[in-house]
Amino acid sequence: MFNGSRKYSPLPSSPSSSRASSSSSLPAAPRRSPRALQRHSSLLSQYSSLLESYTEGEIRQLISALVERYSQAMNSGGHELPLFPRAGSRRKRARARHKPCALKELEVSVSELGLGYESDETVLFRYCSGTCEAAVRSYDLSLKSMRSRRKIKKEKVRARPCCRPLAYDDDVSFLDAYNRYYTVNELSAKECGCV
Protein backbone atom coordinates (compact mmCIF):
# COMPACT_ATOMS: atom_id res chain seq x y z
CA MET A 1 0.00 0.00 0.00
CA PHE A 2 2.69 2.47 1.06
CA ASN A 3 6.22 1.92 -0.12
CA GLY A 4 9.48 2.92 1.50
CA SER A 5 10.13 5.91 -0.77
CA ARG A 6 6.86 7.47 0.40
CA LYS A 7 5.52 8.15 -3.07
CA TYR A 8 1.85 8.45 -2.38
CA SER A 9 -0.55 6.53 -4.55
CA PRO A 10 -4.20 6.85 -3.62
CA LEU A 11 -6.19 3.71 -2.99
CA PRO A 12 -9.09 2.94 -5.30
CA SER A 13 -12.02 4.77 -3.87
CA SER A 14 -15.09 2.94 -2.74
CA PRO A 15 -18.52 4.41 -2.03
CA SER A 16 -17.90 4.22 1.72
CA SER A 17 -14.44 5.82 1.58
CA SER A 18 -15.57 8.63 -0.75
CA ARG A 19 -18.47 9.44 1.60
CA ALA A 20 -16.11 9.56 4.55
CA SER A 21 -13.68 11.88 2.79
CA SER A 22 -16.38 14.23 1.48
CA SER A 23 -18.11 14.54 4.85
CA SER A 24 -14.93 15.54 6.69
CA SER A 25 -13.75 19.07 6.26
CA LEU A 26 -10.25 18.53 7.58
CA PRO A 27 -7.48 20.43 5.83
CA ALA A 28 -4.76 18.41 4.18
CA ALA A 29 -2.17 17.54 6.81
CA PRO A 30 1.48 18.29 6.10
CA ARG A 31 3.60 15.29 5.08
CA ARG A 32 6.14 13.95 7.50
CA SER A 33 9.34 12.30 6.42
CA PRO A 34 9.70 8.65 7.46
CA ARG A 35 11.45 8.15 10.75
CA ALA A 36 14.36 5.78 11.05
CA LEU A 37 13.53 2.66 13.02
CA GLN A 38 15.88 1.88 15.89
CA ARG A 39 17.50 -1.55 15.61
CA HIS A 40 17.37 -2.27 19.31
CA SER A 41 13.95 -0.85 20.08
CA SER A 42 11.01 -3.08 20.73
CA LEU A 43 8.62 -4.17 18.00
CA LEU A 44 5.87 -2.02 19.48
CA SER A 45 7.96 1.15 19.36
CA GLN A 46 9.00 0.33 15.78
CA TYR A 47 5.37 0.08 14.66
CA SER A 48 4.50 3.16 16.66
CA SER A 49 7.19 5.26 14.98
CA LEU A 50 6.22 3.81 11.60
CA LEU A 51 2.59 4.84 12.04
CA GLU A 52 3.62 8.29 13.25
CA SER A 53 5.39 8.87 9.96
CA TYR A 54 2.08 8.74 8.03
CA THR A 55 -0.35 11.58 7.78
CA GLU A 56 -3.84 11.37 9.22
CA GLY A 57 -5.36 11.11 5.74
CA GLU A 58 -3.09 8.19 4.81
CA ILE A 59 -4.01 6.31 7.99
CA ARG A 60 -7.71 6.91 7.32
CA GLN A 61 -7.34 5.49 3.82
CA LEU A 62 -5.45 2.48 5.17
CA ILE A 63 -8.16 1.77 7.75
CA SER A 64 -10.99 2.19 5.25
CA ALA A 65 -9.24 -0.19 2.83
CA LEU A 66 -8.84 -2.77 5.62
CA VAL A 67 -12.49 -2.43 6.66
CA GLU A 68 -13.58 -2.79 3.03
CA ARG A 69 -11.48 -5.95 2.60
CA TYR A 70 -12.90 -7.36 5.82
CA SER A 71 -16.50 -6.73 4.77
CA GLN A 72 -15.85 -8.27 1.34
CA ALA A 73 -14.34 -11.35 2.98
CA MET A 74 -17.25 -11.72 5.39
CA ASN A 75 -19.84 -11.23 2.60
CA SER A 76 -18.17 -13.89 0.48
CA GLY A 77 -18.34 -16.44 3.30
CA GLY A 78 -14.74 -16.05 4.45
CA HIS A 79 -13.83 -16.44 8.09
CA GLU A 80 -10.47 -14.69 8.07
CA LEU A 81 -9.22 -11.34 6.96
CA PRO A 82 -7.25 -11.91 3.73
CA LEU A 83 -4.71 -9.10 4.10
CA PHE A 84 -1.90 -10.88 2.31
CA PRO A 85 -3.45 -13.76 0.38
CA ARG A 86 -1.13 -16.45 -0.91
CA ALA A 87 -2.65 -19.07 -3.11
CA GLY A 88 -2.77 -22.37 -1.26
CA SER A 89 0.07 -21.74 1.18
CA ARG A 90 -2.21 -21.61 4.22
CA ARG A 91 -3.77 -24.95 3.29
CA LYS A 92 -0.34 -26.51 2.79
CA ARG A 93 0.81 -25.28 6.20
CA ALA A 94 -2.38 -26.59 7.81
CA ARG A 95 -1.87 -30.03 6.25
CA ALA A 96 1.78 -30.04 7.32
CA ARG A 97 0.83 -29.17 10.90
CA HIS A 98 -1.60 -32.08 11.18
CA LYS A 99 0.57 -34.95 9.97
CA PRO A 100 0.34 -37.68 12.59
CA CYS A 101 3.32 -38.69 14.71
CA ALA A 102 5.49 -41.09 12.68
CA LEU A 103 9.00 -42.52 12.44
CA LYS A 104 11.24 -40.89 9.80
CA GLU A 105 14.82 -41.63 8.80
CA LEU A 106 17.80 -39.75 7.44
CA GLU A 107 21.31 -40.88 6.46
CA VAL A 108 23.91 -38.59 8.05
CA SER A 109 27.58 -38.64 8.96
CA VAL A 110 28.54 -39.14 12.60
CA SER A 111 30.02 -35.61 12.67
CA GLU A 112 26.63 -34.15 11.68
CA LEU A 113 24.98 -35.69 14.74
CA GLY A 114 26.41 -32.93 16.92
CA LEU A 115 27.72 -35.24 19.64
CA GLY A 116 31.32 -34.04 19.36
CA TYR A 117 32.72 -36.95 17.35
CA GLU A 118 34.77 -36.40 14.19
CA SER A 119 34.00 -39.20 11.76
CA ASP A 120 33.08 -39.59 8.12
CA GLU A 121 31.14 -42.80 8.77
CA THR A 122 27.45 -42.57 7.98
CA VAL A 123 24.60 -43.84 10.12
CA LEU A 124 20.88 -44.17 9.62
CA PHE A 125 19.33 -41.68 12.04
CA ARG A 126 15.66 -42.37 12.79
CA TYR A 127 13.59 -39.65 14.42
CA CYS A 128 9.99 -38.87 15.37
CA SER A 129 8.05 -36.18 13.56
CA GLY A 130 4.42 -35.07 13.45
CA THR A 131 1.65 -33.74 15.65
CA CYS A 132 -0.35 -35.34 18.40
CA GLU A 133 -3.69 -33.54 18.03
CA ALA A 134 -5.64 -36.81 18.27
CA ALA A 135 -3.87 -37.74 21.53
CA VAL A 136 -5.01 -34.69 23.54
CA ARG A 137 -6.42 -35.86 26.87
CA SER A 138 -8.31 -34.23 29.73
CA TYR A 139 -4.96 -33.62 31.44
CA ASP A 140 -3.73 -31.54 28.49
CA LEU A 141 -6.94 -29.47 28.34
CA SER A 142 -6.87 -28.84 32.10
CA LEU A 143 -3.19 -27.90 32.04
CA LYS A 144 -3.80 -25.47 29.19
CA SER A 145 -6.66 -23.89 31.17
CA MET A 146 -4.51 -23.53 34.31
CA ARG A 147 -1.77 -21.85 32.29
CA SER A 148 -4.21 -19.43 30.64
CA ARG A 149 -5.64 -18.51 34.08
CA ARG A 150 -2.07 -18.00 35.31
CA LYS A 151 -2.41 -20.61 38.06
CA ILE A 152 0.83 -22.16 36.75
CA LYS A 153 3.25 -19.34 36.00
CA LYS A 154 6.94 -20.06 36.07
CA GLU A 155 7.27 -23.78 35.48
CA LYS A 156 8.00 -24.99 31.98
CA VAL A 157 5.11 -27.30 31.17
CA ARG A 158 3.67 -28.39 27.84
CA ALA A 159 -0.08 -28.36 27.56
CA ARG A 160 -0.16 -30.84 24.69
CA PRO A 161 1.39 -34.22 23.97
CA CYS A 162 4.66 -34.42 22.02
CA CYS A 163 5.76 -36.82 19.30
CA ARG A 164 8.70 -38.60 20.96
CA PRO A 165 10.53 -41.95 20.79
CA LEU A 166 8.89 -44.74 22.80
CA ALA A 167 11.80 -47.12 22.13
CA TYR A 168 15.31 -46.79 20.71
CA ASP A 169 17.28 -48.78 18.12
CA ASP A 170 20.33 -50.86 18.98
CA ASP A 171 23.54 -49.10 19.96
CA VAL A 172 25.56 -47.50 17.14
CA SER A 173 29.31 -48.18 16.89
CA PHE A 174 31.81 -46.34 14.69
CA LEU A 175 35.46 -45.32 14.25
CA ASP A 176 36.31 -41.65 14.55
CA ALA A 177 38.86 -39.76 12.41
CA TYR A 178 41.66 -40.84 14.84
CA ASN A 179 40.77 -44.59 14.60
CA ARG A 180 39.19 -44.68 18.05
CA TYR A 181 36.17 -46.94 18.48
CA TYR A 182 32.99 -45.53 20.06
CA THR A 183 29.54 -46.89 20.86
CA VAL A 184 26.57 -44.56 21.35
CA ASN A 185 23.33 -45.78 22.88
CA GLU A 186 19.79 -44.42 22.47
CA LEU A 187 20.76 -42.56 19.32
CA SER A 188 18.04 -43.57 16.88
CA ALA A 189 14.33 -43.97 17.50
CA LYS A 190 12.76 -47.38 16.95
CA GLU A 191 9.13 -46.54 17.74
CA CYS A 192 7.34 -43.20 18.04
CA GLY A 193 4.30 -42.12 19.96
CA CYS A 194 2.56 -39.20 21.62
CA VAL A 195 3.88 -38.65 25.14
DSSP letters spanning 126-143: EEEESB-GGG--HHHHHH
Long-range contacts of 108-111 (CB under 8 A, 24+ apart): 110/174, 110/176
CB atoms under 10 Å from CB of 93, counted, come to: 11
d(CA 71, CA 64): 11
Over range 78-99, report the average pLDDT.
58
Let me know if domain 102-134+161-194 sits in CATH 2.10.90.10: yes
Could you tell me the residue ranges of all domains in the chain?
Answer: 102-134+161-194
pLDDT the model gives residue 123: 92
Q: Mind listing the pLDDT tens digit for each residue in 118-166?
A: 998 999 999 999 988 877 888 888 888 888 888 887 777 777 788 999 9
User: How far, CA to CA in Å, does 24 sit from each of 13, 18, 21, 143?
Assistant: 15, 10, 5, 52
Q: What gap in Å lies between CA 6 and CA 31, rounded to an integer?
A: 10
pLDDT value, residue 151: 81
Does residue 6 register a pLDDT over 70? no
Which secondary structure element, helix H or strand E, spans residue 99, and what is its range?
Answer: none
Span 7-65, pLDDT tens digits:
444 444 444 444 444 444 555 656 655 555 444 456 677 767 777 777 888 888 888 88
